Structure 1
Amino acid sequence: MINAPTRNSRIMIAATALALCIPGVARSQISAATHEPVAPPEPSRVELRPARILIWSDLNVPGFAPGATMAVVHGDPGANRDYIIRLRFPAGYRFPVHWHPNSEHVTVLSGTFLLAMGNTADQSKLRSYGPGDFIYAPARMSHYGGAKTATVVQLNGTGPFAINLGVAPASK
């Protein structure tokens, strides 16, 4: 005999359904706010990317010290679609105040990542983040930082990815 759903099981089903709907609603609101539709993912394509096959290249950004490298894990950071990149910094690396036109979702994979928000690089304000730590930086938020030890971070976002040196202009 099948038991009728209990009040708790109905609440769990409703909460699960709501949790599954929120990402789609949030994506549509973000796309509407930027007035540029985000290209949808290809539904029949699964990507498996072992870390050992990533292709690392120098991160050549004017104003940034040499030594940092970048690998594209998924997507095209230069296009108007989702992407995932990894950034690798040597111990002691520092990057200057800069900002991005789109938000960033950063997860520290290894090492000790240093980051602070602000318009002036003040080394005393840097905070340390370790493996598993997550950082969300809104679009146009000026920030600076580096790495205390050899560090790899993974950055997820929606392109096009751009690095702009200096202080972000006031939001409109």
Structure 2
Amino acid sequence: MDKYCLILLLALASANVMQAQAPEMSTAVDSYQSEELEWGPCPDFMPDGCKIAVLHGDPAKPNVDILFQVPGGANIPDHWHHSAERMILLSGELHVTYEGEQTQIMKEGTYAYGPAKKSHVATCKDGKPCTLFIAFEEPLDAFATERK
């Protein structure tokens, strides 16, 4: 066996070992309306009726996907996150204002990007609840903004 063939065999064997050691990623498909979702509470400073469901990942680790829901008419107080947020509004109409920017109106199907550590407020307009899909790059957190 020549040395190039041996190198190729070793490379393939190494790839198979690395693949066997890599954690298996499961796939999941779910609806935000599914009764199988496990909803939990939001931080205390969020409005009554606010709830969160983890879709994928561990909230204490990077790269977690969640659903965030507030009732129609709810005001989400000024807050910030360590992570950037990538969001899609699944239901309702949400008016979001980031510090120093004009209010953006999110309608169903709208995508928005929220920069890390940038304070923001939001209002879910009257009617149906606002349900957001949010992908966090860093562990899930939310902190009320303290104004001086």
Write the deviation string for residues 129-159 of structure 1: whole angstroms up to 9, x where unpaired.
1111111011111100021131110000123
Verify the 8 A CA contact 2:40 2:51 in the aligned structure 1.
Answer: yes
| Structure-2 residue corresponding to 1:143 | 120
- What secondary structure is seen at the aligned counterpart in 1 of 2:73? coil
The structure in which a higher percent of residues are helix is 1
**Are 1:69 and 2:51 matched, yes or no?**
yes
Structure 1's unaligned 5+ residue stretches are 1-40, 120-124
Fraction of identical pairs, as percent: 23
Deviation of 1:167 (Å):
5.4
Q: What is the distance in 1 between the residues matched to 2:65 and 2:41?
A: 17
After superposition, residues 51-90 of structure 1 pair within 5 angstroms as 51=31, 52=34, 53-59=36-42, 61-79=43-61, 81-90=62-71
- Please, which runs of 5 or more residues in structure 2 have no aligned partner? 1-21
Which of residues 125, 130, 134 is equivalent to 1:155?
A: 134
Tell me how many residue pairs correspond in the alignment. 120
How far apart, CA to CA, are the structure 1 residues paired with 2:140 and 2:44? 15
Higher strand share: 2
* TM-score, normalised by the number of residues in structure 1: 0.63
Partner of 1:94: 75
Q: More relative contact order in 1 or in 2 (CA 8 Å, sep 6+)?
A: 2
C-alpha contact 1:90 1:151 (8 A) present in aligned 2: yes
Look up the equivalent residue of 2:76 and give its one-letter code: F
Aligned-residue RMSD, C-alpha = 2.0
Paired residues of 2:47 and 2:70 also in contact (CA < 8 A) = no
